[in-house]
Amino acid sequence: MEERVREALEKVRPFLQADGGDVELVRVDEDGTVFVKLTGACGGCPMAQMTLKSGVERIVKESVPEVKSVEAV
Q: What is the CATH number of the domain that holds 21?
A: 3.30.300.130
pLDDT at 38: 94
Domain with 38, as residue range(s), is: 2-72
User: Which residues lie across from 36 on neighbouring strands?
Assistant: 25, 72
User: What distance in Å separates the CA atoms of residue 34 and residue 26, rounded to the nearest whole number?
Assistant: 8
Residue 45 has pLDDT above 90, yes or no: no
Q: 62 CB contacts (<8 Å, ≥6 apart)? A: 8
What global pTM score does this model have?
A: 0.92
Q: How many domains would you assign to the chain?
A: 1
- pLDDT tens digit sequence for 52-66: 999 999 999 999 999
